[in-house]
A and B are shown apart, each in its own frame.
Chain A
């Protein structure tokens, strides 16, 4: 019955599109935050923006002694900051968050609050030597070009991001910043569907890509009993270069359902919560996969060691080509992630933590 409540149709996709197209580079998440505030305002009992820019929203419950359950998703995306004006509307820039330099040559970008269009230029192939083409062009040599007429229209310190527009193709979703706007959209849907059994604490965090900085203060503020972090994790489910061997480093796979974290560089997921989630998935017939243990991390890395410790687990929507101009995710994975978390929210109570970790 509950399964039917979880729906992803036109309105949800419209919202995801809006979120994906919005610009919210780490440290400058205002545009995304405004969209979330508009959506969440009618759905929660209270919300506020904290001193770091996190949007903290609470939905109370009438159940006595209910668990305080935190859901976190980060609003920020990787991008750029202009650091020096060069000639005729060109600007030197730095990456904000982890971006592979090989993704940058000849890409359209949006600069500043007014989304000024620009391009990251690249030398004509005619004028490059084979030796030059064998090398990666370092970021320091690249410029964002707003066109000669735009000299002075942007300022040092302005943020920029890829200009990719969202689109859907069957079960596939394409867009920039789906890491972690998929998580943001998921939290908004959870607020809409809220079954009312727990005290629900939604943290739309800032500066995840700069080192989980927003999540830490959000968790300190909320003091939750447990936390679920919703993020996007890379799917490397691609063939090996010149080899027929088995890919043993796929991290997770598109279409295989929500990726539940066991351990990453920042967190060893609470085993009680892993079991809680997998049991729900099995009981409800929701497909899921484990994200391969290894490096990387989510906001859980900051949340779980806040104050006296917060039992935490992360769940990600798989996505190919994270931190590039275009991420590729699956609608079915998103829906199953939402379904799993909805069930978790409905069933979450303190008894999950009765046994010692």
Chain B
């Protein structure tokens, strides 16, 4: 489990430029799936099983992309200005390191400012790659970078960049490897461009026209931040009731909770006032798709050092495998 998560987190894949992570995942899942294909938006779609009587066509989505930086200007002095792809938080930038898709590494810092307590906007930060002039600079406008931060094994918990949402990708890969008997046609979609607004999931949901949609993503926790949030690290995967962009179908929530109870998987219910997942795109696709989300609690989301609990991950795997292996009954409580 850890090895897979480690491998996936370390591959750069900023929104819109997911080819490296996609090829890695494609190689890993090849032996387990009937076919894979890549669509116009770069989504990787893998089909497992066929629909038996009483079965459903289920779309399961985790996103491959991570938040990233895109070069907007090279200064005469060789400093690299950038813009963000996805929700990059300025407070995590100064002193950080990045790696470009062409392998160039650099450090981030900001323009001088007088009010130390104020966080500057992204436009006042730059990447210093050690170039002495614009001519000497090995990157150019439009080049992409991601946080450079190694995987840290802390025992029960692990930390890395891009756990959002490579741990969801890992979860999906391991589920693909485990689901042996399913009455359903399972369409696993490794989505692109979630961090900029679930754009990959939007087009994938349209093409696949499934009966049911499940998104796998991380959810922020409030256990140590001094804010009132009910989801905590280490208390099991979170079943989403709602977030900012999405009210999960109550029947889907009910089905997930019932299954978790039957499988004796510890779980939490999630009501989130920030962020959303690919489930929002699925719900509104075509004539509508009943959809929900299973979340892995995660500390420090969108920082270079996100953290998850491996027990939460293992429980999520048990729950997801269980959900997809049996007949699905969708009923409201």
- The answer on direct contact between A and B (beta carbons under 8 Å) is yes
A230 CA to B100 CA in the complex, in Å?
30
Is the Cβ of B85 less than 8 Å from the Cβ of A268? yes
Q: Which residues of A contact B15 (CB under 8 A)?
A: 268
Is the Cβ of A307 less than 8 Å from the Cβ of B85? no
Known A290-B141, A292-B141, A293-B70: A305·B202 in contact at CB below 8 Å: yes
Known A357-B19, A357-B38: A292·B202 in contact at CB below 8 Å: no
Q: Which residues of B contact A307 (CB under 8 A)?
A: 203, 206-207
B123 contacts A by Cβ under 8 Å: yes
Q: Type the 1/0 row for A227-260, where 1 means its CB is closer than 8 Å to any CB of B.
A: 0000000000000000000101110000000000
A340 CA to B83 CA in the complex, in Å?
26
Is the Cβ of A357 less than 8 Å from the Cβ of B40? yes
A286 contacts B by Cβ under 8 Å: no
A274 CA to B143 CA in the complex, in Å?
12
Which of B42, B73, B193, B203 is A356 in contact with, Cβ under 8 Å? B42
Is the Cβ of B73 less than 8 Å from the Cβ of A248? yes
B142 contacts A by Cβ under 8 Å: yes
Is the Cβ of A268 less than 8 Å from the Cβ of B196? yes
Shortest C-beta distance, A69 to chain B (Å), equals 14
A268 CA to B40 CA in the complex, in Å?
13
Nearest B residue to A353 via CB reads: B40
B158 contacts A by Cβ under 8 Å: no
Q: Which residues of A contact B16 (CB under 8 A)?
A: 263, 268, 271
A155 CA to B202 CA in the complex, in Å?
41
Is the Cβ of B75 less than 8 Å from the Cβ of A357? no
Interface of A: prevailing SS: loop
Q: Which residues of A contact B75 (CB under 8 A)?
A: 246, 248
B210 contacts A by Cβ under 8 Å: no
Nearest B residue to A307 via CB reads: B206
Nearest B residue to A262 via CB reads: B142
Is the Cβ of B38 less than 8 Å from the Cβ of A356? yes
Is the Cβ of A308 less than 8 Å from the Cβ of B17? no
A97 contacts B by Cβ under 8 Å: no
Known A263-B16, A292-B141: A311·B73 in contact at CB below 8 Å: no
Is the Cβ of A248 less than 8 Å from the Cβ of B81? yes
A152 contacts B by Cβ under 8 Å: no
Shortest C-beta distance, B128 to chain A (Å), equals 14
Question: Which bracket fits the contact residues of B?
Answer: 20 to 34
Interface of B: prevailing SS: mixed
Is the Cβ of A249 less than 8 Å from the Cβ of B85? no
A157 contacts B by Cβ under 8 Å: no
Q: Type the 1/0 row for A63-76, where 1 means its CB is closer than 8 Å to any CB of B.
A: 00000000000000
Q: Which residues of B contact A191 (CB under 8 A)?
A: none
Is the Cβ of B206 less than 8 Å from the Cβ of A263? no
Known A293-B142, A356-B22: A309·B203 in contact at CB below 8 Å: yes
A305 CA to B42 CA in the complex, in Å?
12
Q: Type the 1/0 row for A105-120, where 1 means its CB is closer than 8 Å to any CB of B.
A: 0000000000000000
Q: Which residues of B contact A305 (CB under 8 A)?
A: 41, 199, 202-203
A215 contacts B by Cβ under 8 Å: no
A290 CA to B71 CA in the complex, in Å?
11
Shortest C-beta distance, B133 to chain A (Å), equals 13
Is the Cβ of B41 less than 8 Å from the Cβ of A357? yes
A310 contacts B by Cβ under 8 Å: yes
Shortest C-beta distance, B132 to chain A (Å), equals 15
Which of A249, A268, A274, A310 is B193 in contact with, Cβ under 8 Å? A268
A105 CA to B318 CA in the complex, in Å?
65
* Interface residues, chain B, with chain A CB atoms under 8 Å away: 15-17, 19, 22, 38-42, 70-73, 75-76, 81-83, 85, 123, 141-142, 192-193, 196, 199, 202-203, 206-207
* Interface residues, chain A, with chain B CB atoms under 8 Å away: 246, 248-250, 262-263, 268, 271, 274, 290, 292-294, 304-311, 353, 356-357
Q: Would you mind naming 6 contact pairs between A and B with Cβ atoms under 8 Å apart?
A: A246-B75, A248-B75, A308-B40, A308-B206, A356-B22, A357-B19
Closest CB pairs A-B (n = 9):
A268-B16, A309-B203, A309-B40, A357-B42, A309-B41, A308-B207, A262-B142, A292-B72, A293-B70
- Further contacts, 17 of them, CB under 8 A, given A248-B72, A263-B83, A290-B141: A248-B73, A249-B123, A262-B142, A268-B16, A268-B17, A271-B17, A293-B72, A293-B82, A293-B85, A304-B199, A305-B199, A308-B206, A308-B207, A309-B41, A309-B203, A356-B22, A357-B40
